[in-house]
């Protein structure tokens, strides 16, 4: 199947990722069937989607007319058979439970035409395990978005040895058409790539805080005022090649043996969770949070991402 043949897309799951995918596909000009297990979850999802369109209007990214037109392209249903009828792509974004996803993919496999591409939005589960639930492993792949997906263009598309080149190319073409920046992960690896890089940094950051080297706030200041600024416009390999790989080799030889490499979860994180200090959702984590401070952070991130998109020149 070619990308020009795609007219309608089903999104299964009306949570955060499903909402984001629905918004992007609808803005890209595609008819979207949004499916969820209950009318209540569809109602919540639709409300959040409307709020997202309002946010995009406020950021100056879309016009009122474009938002209204995109909203008119979205249909909702709790009936999976009805939702996948006549679609060329299904994007699954349900709860991270392997048995549940396998059950959904078995149903999708039986309900969808043989040409339909089935995509899972999982960020943790195995592509092979999900594809094995179908009779079309060549048309099953994974796609991981970064949040908020309508402001962060990256989409990691993971394939394995059973995924066809045609399925990968078609889905990546679709993502490109709606303004995403797809990167193909050529082999199965837990956590994709972006999450692995984030967690690798988090492990070192937690270790530094746990040892009393710096506070959590100090770590954030260091990232925001140095490497984070560079990484917005130049990747890690670009930055290090400016410095010279001979210098990188010398630094790596000294630092790598001294970096944290434990597979144990740092106690500073475990203790926070045990105390119910979960961050924004409980009002306290490494920071204290109020509704106003939470909204201020979200607005700061959103406005910065919009500005970065204007001048970053990512390619």
Reported as a single tens digit per residue, the pLDDT across 153-166 is 999 999 999 999 99
Distance (Å, whole) CA 69 – CA 57: 13
Q: Is pLDDT above 70 for 268?
A: yes
Which of the four CATH numbers 3.40.50.1220, 3.30.420.40, 1.10.1040.10, 1.10.260.40 does domain 193-263 have? 1.10.1040.10
- Residue-wise pLDDT tens digits, 199-225: 999 999 999 999 999 999 999 999 999
Q: Is pLDDT above 60 for 305?
A: yes
What integer pLDDT is reported at residue 308 of this predicted model?
87
Tokens of 234: 């130049």
Q: Is pLDDT above 80 for 127?
A: yes
Mean pLDDT, residues 267-287: 97
Mean pLDDT, residues 260-289: 96
- Residue-wise pLDDT tens digits, 3-14: 999 999 999 999
CA distance to 203, 204, 219, 259, per residue, from 262 (Å): 9, 10, 20, 9
> DSSP H helical segments within 211-282, as ranges?
216-222, 228-231, 236-243, 245-255, 267-274
Bin 79: left if φ > 0, else alpha if -120 < ψ < 50, else beta. Answer: beta
- Residue-wise pLDDT tens digits, 136-186: 999 999 999 888 888 899 999 999 999 999 999 999 999 999 999 999 999
Average pLDDT, the chain: 94
Structure-derived torsion over alpha carbons of residues 242, 243, 245, 247, reported in degrees to the nearest 10: 180
What integer pLDDT is reported at residue 1 of this predicted model?
85
What integer pLDDT is reported at residue 124 of this predicted model?
86
What's the pTM?
0.89
Place 313 in a pLDDT band, splitting at 50, 70 and 90: low
Instruction: Locate the domains of the chain by residue range.
Output: 3-185, 193-263, 275-315
Handedness of CA 138, 33, 7, 3 (dihedral sign): negative
Superfamily of the domain at 3-185: NAD(P)-binding Rossmann-like Domain (3.40.50.720)
CB 182 within 8 A of CB 176: yes
What integer pLDDT is reported at residue 220 of this predicted model?
97
Distance (Å, whole) CA 299 – CA 293: 10
Mean pLDDT, residues 91-106: 95
Provide the CA 184 distance to its chain's centre, in angstroms.
Answer: 14
What integer pLDDT is reported at residue 312 of this predicted model?
62
In this chain, the answer to whether the domains covering 3-185 and 193-263 adopt an identical fold is: no
């Amino acid at each position: 199947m070619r990308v020009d043949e795609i007219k309608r897309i089903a999104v299964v799951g009306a949570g955060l990722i499903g909402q984001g995918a629905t918004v992007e596909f609808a803005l890209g000009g595609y008819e979207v069937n949004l499916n969820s297990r209950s009318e209540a979850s569809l109602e919540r999802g639709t409300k959040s989607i409307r709020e997202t369109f309002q946010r995009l209007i406020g950021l100056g990214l879309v016009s009122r007319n474009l938002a209204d037109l995109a909203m008119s392209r979205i249909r909702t249903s709790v009936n999976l058979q009805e939702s996948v009828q006549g679609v060329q792509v299904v994007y699954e974004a349900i709860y991270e439970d392997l048995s549940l996803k396998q059950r959904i993919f078995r149903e999708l496999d039986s309900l969808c035409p043989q040409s339909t591409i089935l995509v899972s939005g999982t960020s943790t589960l195995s592509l092979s395990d999900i594809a094995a639930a179908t009779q079309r492993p060549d048309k099953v792949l994974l796609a991981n978005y970064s949040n908020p997906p309508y402001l962060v263009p990256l989409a990691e598309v993971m394939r394995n040895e059973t995924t066809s080149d045609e399925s990968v190319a078609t889905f990546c073409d679709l993502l490109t058409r709606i303004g995403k920046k797809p990167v193909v992960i050529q082999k199965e690896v837990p956590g994709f790539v972006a999450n692995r890089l984030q967690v690798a940094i988090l492990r070192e950051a937690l270790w530094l805080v746990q040892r009393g080297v710096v506070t959590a706030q100090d770590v954030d200041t260091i990232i925001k005022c140095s490497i984070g600024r560079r990484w917005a416009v130049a990747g890690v390999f670009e930055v290090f090649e400016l410095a010279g790989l001979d210098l990188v080799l010398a630094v790596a030889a000294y630092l790598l043996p001294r970096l944290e490499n434990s597979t144990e979860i740092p106690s500073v994180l475990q203790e926070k969770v045990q105390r119910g200090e979960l961050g924004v959702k409980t009002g306290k984590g490494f920071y204290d949070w109020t509704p106003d401070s939470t909204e201020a952070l979200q607005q700061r991130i959103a406005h910065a991402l919009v500005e970065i998109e204007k001048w970053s020149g990512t390619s």
